[in-house]
């Protein structure tokens, strides 16, 4: 009889913990959704994908380090990441002049997209005024932020950030732009840091650059998925 009571009590306790965990997950998602919607006018990332990005940062980002985004448009994702991971330094890289011309290595879909200037997804070739990103970041919980304006092949080579990178979010679209980002910034990602590859499933050039870079450096990095968001984890040792 006593053993049966203990088993029943254990089942009740486990069920209670399960309910508590579900409530905690639901509340966390509500909070993350509110953060994303706060910056909805500053991002073209769909809500479901944006929330997945933020949950990934919350769950997998190391405790220290800075946050870097390459290809920020109006700065909405950087600002949202700052609210999810408050009190950090943020570095935002963008030309604020739109995307450079796509090349053959970027694939037919990329070339067709850039030609179709009347497409609803064209967004003026992803051009945005720098002032939008500045406004979004001022609304955020970032400790400090710096906007670095210019083409990646001009602003990134030789750049050394003041601290290791905890989260590197790449929204560089094309092969050369993605490779420019990886060449300079991947070595500065801290062990255990995450690299989010926004365009990995969208543009051939991005996925080719990622695989070429990893192959070139003979790394054993795996490409993981978190709710459909592709990312890498910087190995503790390579």
pLDDT of residue 28: 81
* CA–CA separation, 215 and 227 (whole Å): 26
Q: Is residue 151 domain-resident?
A: yes
pLDDT at residue 220, rounded to an integer: 87
The closest of 51, 60, 53, 175 to 110, measured between CA atoms, is 175
SS3 5: helix
Is position 238 within any domain? no
pLDDT of residue 4: 65
For the chain, the helix, strand and coil percentages under 3-state DSSP, each to the nearest 5: 50, 15, 35
Task: Quote the domain boundaries for residue 109.
Answer: 39-233
Contacts with 89 (C-beta within 8 Å, 6 or more apart), sequence order: 66, 67, 142, 143, 144, 145, 146, 162, 163
**Residue 9 falls within a domain, yes or no?**
no
Q: Is residue 89 part of a domain?
A: yes
Domain assignment present for residue 20? The answer is no
Report DSSP state, residue 129: -
Q: Specify the DSSP class assigned to residue 74.
A: T
How large is the greatest C-alpha to C-alpha distance in the chain, in angstroms?
A: 77
Provide the 3-class DSSP secondary structure of residue 194: strand
Beta partners for 13? none
Task: State the burial class of residue 57 (Cβ atoms within 10 Å of its Cβ: 0-12, 13-18, 19+).
Answer: buried
Query: Is 93 within 8 Å of 180 (Cβ atoms)?
Result: no
Predicted pLDDT at 20: 61
Give a yes or no: residue 1 inside a domain: no
What is the pTM for the complete model shown?
0.89
pLDDT of residue 198: 97
Answer yes or no: is 31 within a domain: no
Residues whose CB falls within 8 Å of the CB of residue 204, separated by 6 or more in sequence, listed in order: 105, 106, 107, 109, 110
CATH of the domain at 165: 3.40.50.150
User: Does a structural domain hold residue 33?
Assistant: no
pLDDT score for 133: 98
**Residue 23 confidence (pLDDT):** 62
Domain count, the chain: 1
Profile the chain (238 residues) by mean pLDDT over runs of 10 residues: 67 67 72 97 97 97 97 98 97 98 97 94 94 98 98 98 98 98 98 97 98 95 96 86
DSSP conformation class of 6: H
Residue owning tokens 């090349």: 103
Contacts of 11 (CB under 8 A, 6+ apart): none
């Amino acid at each position: 009889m006593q053993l049966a009571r203990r088993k029943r009590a254990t089942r009740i306790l486990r069920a209670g913990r399960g309910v508590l965990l579900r409530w905690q997950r639901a509340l966390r998602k509500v909070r993350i959704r509110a953060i994303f919607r706060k910056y909805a006018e500053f991002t073209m990332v769909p809500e479901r994908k944006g929330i997945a990005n933020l949950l990934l940062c919350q769950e997998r980002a190391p405790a220290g380090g800075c946050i870097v985004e390459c290809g920020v448009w109006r700065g909405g994702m950087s600002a949202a990441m700052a609210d999810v991971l408050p009190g950090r330094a943020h570095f935002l890289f963008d030309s604020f002049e739109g995307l450079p011309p796509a090349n053959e290595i970027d694939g037919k879909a990329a070339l067709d997209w850039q030609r179709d200037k009347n497409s609803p997804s064209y967004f003026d070739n992803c051009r945005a005024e720098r002032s939008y990103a500045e406004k979004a970041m001022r609304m955020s919980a970032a400790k400090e932020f710096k906007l670095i304006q210019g083409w990646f092949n001009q602003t990134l080579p030789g750049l050394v950030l003041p601290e290791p990178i905890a989260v590197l979010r790449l929204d560089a679209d094309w092969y050369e732009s993605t490779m420019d980002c990886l060449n300079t910034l991947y070595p500065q990602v801290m062990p255990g840091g995450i690299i989010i590859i926004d365009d990995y499933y969208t543009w051939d050039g991005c996925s080719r650059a990622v695989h070429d870079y990893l192959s070139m450096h003979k790394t054993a990095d795996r490409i993981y998925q978190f709710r459909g968001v592709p990312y890498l984890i910087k190995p503790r040792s390579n």
